[in-house]
Structure 1
Amino acid sequence: MMSWQLGPYQLPNKWVLAPMAGVSDSALRSICYKQGAGYAIGEMLSAQTHLWETKKSATRQVNMADPEPRAIQLLGIDPKALADAAQRQVAQGAQVIDLNLGCPAKKVCQQAAGSALLAYPEQVASIFNAVVAAVDVPVTVKIRTGINAEHKNGLEIAKIAEGCGLSAITVHGRTRADKFNGQAEYDTIALIKQTVSIPVIANGDICSAEDAQFVLNYTNADAIMLGRAVLGRPWLFNQIDAWVNNKTLLPDPSLMARQHIMRDHLDAIYRLYGETQGVRIARKHLGWYAQHLPAGDRLRQMFNRLDVSTKQQACIDKYFDALDTRLELESC
């Protein structure tokens, strides 16, 4: 059975898109849902509500076009501020509130937020209790395995989450000190899954269908979360689903299929951010797609020189036309 339960929501499969700040916006979420993701969490939003009107935060609000359940991730350290922010997001249409105790970014941890909160279990409990009491939707949390290799207190935090009434916990298989270095470890995730009764989502270094199967088997997690691995290849969700369910290794999509995926993705970016900002953000995502394409560096270089959305899309079409006809790609 590949579905799992998150509060009142029966999710169709175990494949979850991670909430990556500045990356997993509604445009990427839409593409990943089309490519087999069963659930996606919106990118990190500060609990400081006075910042929500900024251009950066405006696109991180609830998107009513997202499939249910619509999930928003909040970052903060003050229980009351997080509770108030959660209430406001639920009023706007959020159906799950996810709390960020996993971000290792220096500017976040300097404020004792994100993964820095792992060092303060009592504060964590206060946050959990305040947010759960403030909203009538599932509250979840994303954590790391601990503060550092000598202080892996992920299990302690997971028990607090369960005791405070959270509906699920995601565990990234690195400590705060690890940032994104080294290899993720799954022993802590497996231990947490064995100990708590709420759903556990495993995260970290899941880059292929075989990785997904291994992590599911090793941790017995209820779901797995994919982050950086799907950038430029959102079809990884479909490949994982085919392998885990049917032991079928799906090839990457055809060049024509990838062309359509990229165009759809960029169109969604332009709609979300507008022409000027959309063109800049499109360059970032095109760069990830280009890593998995022949002559991708050449495509990226030409694409990045363009400052009009229609010209960017025409550049993609010209690139794929050149591949189809084996012509030399000269310029966009």
Structure 2
Amino acid sequence: MTLKIGSVELPNPVILAPMAGVSDLPFRLLCREQGAGLVCMEMVSAKAIAYHNKNTEKLMETREQERPVSLQLFGSEPDLMAEIAAQIEERPFDILDINMGCPVPKIVGNGEGSALMKNPRLIEEIITKVSRAIKKPLTVKFRKGFDDDHVNAVEIAKIAEASGAAAVAIHGRTREQYYSGKADWEIIRQVKEAVSIPVIGNGDVDSPEKVRALLDATGCDGVMIGRAARGNPWIFHRVSEYLKTGKLPDKPSREEIKAMMLRHARMQVEHKGDYTGIREMRKHISWYTTGLPGSAKLRGRINSVESLEEMEALLREM
């Protein structure tokens, strides 16, 4: 079960969603190893690239072994977005994605992310200009709508297709919902019926069975997994195997979880340095250990750890 987006063929239709503070290089590599068909970088600002921001440069680092990989851009100025897209196209990524779904107040307040859904004409201009500026496939990620009074995902999908997008990804919640309540899979089905480009569904997909259910309920071409992948890179292996064989692979053992955490911590420190790597690893460990016996005590202790050596010692005690 493969998925083709423009000229890029994915080995399977199960995709790691772009998540700020989560889908960094170490985590993407782990998810790719576990079988993700496509991994998506954390979103980067077109303006920040234009200003040569050092932190943004770090966000765009890639490795050959994680490909195919998607770079996600956000902004609201069509000409700048197109200029930056053309400028970065030579980098080693495979698909360029435009973020039109981020619900964070700071982003929305700047007229970016999901705020764009309130302005279909601007969306049309952005996608048209960016798609004409690059040769790589362009995708767009958006939501059901801005709020329940403005559910326009079908309209936005049609605009995206007509303006040059090679695929769309839709989260079945409005911006006002953030991540609360239940994702609306019916809107994903409506989008799929409205366009001929691939449609990737997102929202409340936290198990292999849910992935199968979403594909069956909506007819969508691919599935994007976000929060359910945090502390759980194995979900990509389990989903891809389930889709292939119909059999549900075992969940990872405690020893496998421990080994993955240790490896992730080493990769994080190697990529970001001791101080930042350890600080960022704390949240990953809380996700990895959710529901395990003694996890609350471990999370309490992990917050005082300052070095990789201390973290390794503590995890070995598990």
**TM band (smaller chain):** over 0.9
In structure 1, the residue matched to 2:17 is 18
Which amino acid is 2:284 matched to? Answer: H
What letter matches 1:47 in structure 2? Answer: A
The residue aligned with 1:318 is 317
Tell me what 1:128 maps to.
Answer: 127
Q: Which residue of 2 aligns with 1:39?
A: 38
> Could you list the per-position Cα deviations for residues 282-306 of structure 1 after superposition, in whole angstroms to 9, with x for gaps in the alignment?
1111111121422111111112111
Distance 1:58 1:313, change over 3 A: farther
Deviation at 1:244, TM superposition (A): 2.3
Segment of structure 1 superposing worse, 233-242 or 137-146: 233-242
Whether 1:152 aligns to 2:151 is: yes
Q: TM-score, normalised by structure 2?
A: 0.96
Mapped partners of 2:265, 2:173: distance in 1: 32
Q: CA deviation at 1:64?
A: 3.2
Aligned to 2:140: 141
Query: Match of 1:179, SS?
Result: coil
Q: Which residue of 2 aligns with 1:69?
A: 68
Question: Does the aligned pair in 2 maintain the 1:64–1:70 contact within 8 Å?
Answer: no
Q: Give the secondary-structure state (helix, strand or coil) at the position aligned to 1:307.
A: coil
- TM-score normalised to structure 1 length: 0.92
Instruction: Name the SS of the counterpart of 1:270 in structure 2.
Output: helix
Cross-structure match for 2:53:
53
Greater shift in the superposed pair: 45-54 or 235-244: 45-54
- Which piece of structure 1 moves more, 238-247 or 265-274? 238-247
* Alignment-derived partner of residue 207 in structure 2: 208
Cα distance in structure 2, aligned partners of 1:125 and 1:14: 26
Contact 2:199 2:220 in 1 (8 A): yes
Tell me the distance in 1 between the aligned counterparts of 2:115 and 2:2.
33
Tell me which residue corresponds to 1:275: 274
Partner residue of 2:29?
Answer: 30
Amino acid at match of 2:161: E
The CA deviation at 1:51 is 4.9
Q: CA deviation at 1:7?
A: 1.4
Q: Secondary structure at the match of 1:145?
A: strand
- Residue 97 of structure 2 aligns to a residue whose secondary structure is strand
Matched-pair identity in %: 35
- Output the CA distance in 2 between the equivalents of 1:50 and 1:161: 25
**Residues 62 and 89 in structure 1, CA contact (< 8 A), matched pair in contact too:** no
Q: Residue 173 of structure 2 aligns to a residue in which SS?
A: coil
Counterpart residue number, 2:297: 298
Aligned mates of 1:52, 1:288 — CA distance in 2: 33
Moved more, 78-87 or 223-232: 78-87
Q: Is the contact made by 1:99 and 1:142 (CA closer than 8 Å) also made in structure 2?
A: yes
Distance of 1:45 and 1:53 partners within structure 2: 10
Cα distance per residue 1:133-174 (max 9 Å; x no partner): 111100001000112112211111100111011111000001
Q: Distance in 1 between matches of 2:52 and 2:192?
A: 35
Alpha-carbon distance, 1:52 to partner: 4.4
| Counterparts of 2:224 and 2:164, CA distance in 1 | 22
Q: Structure 1 stretch 216-225 or stretch 265-274: which is displaced more?
A: 265-274
The farther-off stretch of 78-87 and 120-129 is: 78-87
Query: Structure 1: how far apart are the matches of 2:294 and 2:87?
Result: 47
Q: Does structure 2 retain, via aligned residues, the 8 Å contact 1:61–1:89? A: no
Structure 2 residue runs without a partner (length 5+): none
User: Alpha carbons of 1:58 and 1:312: their partners in 2 closer, same or farther (altered >3 Å)?
Assistant: farther
Q: Distance in 1 between matches of 2:86 and 2:317?
A: 48
**1:91-149: per-residue Cα shift (whole Å, max 9, x none)?**
22232110000001111100110001001011001100111111110000100011211
8 Å contact kept, 1:25–1:59 = no
Q: How many residues align?
A: 317
TM-aligned CA distance change 1:220 to 1:294, over 3 Å? same
Contact 2:202 2:223 in 1 (8 A): yes
Alignment of 1:224-239 (within 5 A): 224-239=223-238
Q: Distance in 1 between matches of 2:146 and 2:301?
A: 43
C-alpha change, 1:264 and 1:207, in structure 2 (3 Å) is same
- Mapped contact 2:170–2:200 kept (Cα < 8 A): yes
Unaligned runs of 5+ in 1: 320-332
1:298 partner SS:
helix
Work out the CA distance in 1 between the residues paired with 2:272 and 2:154: 40
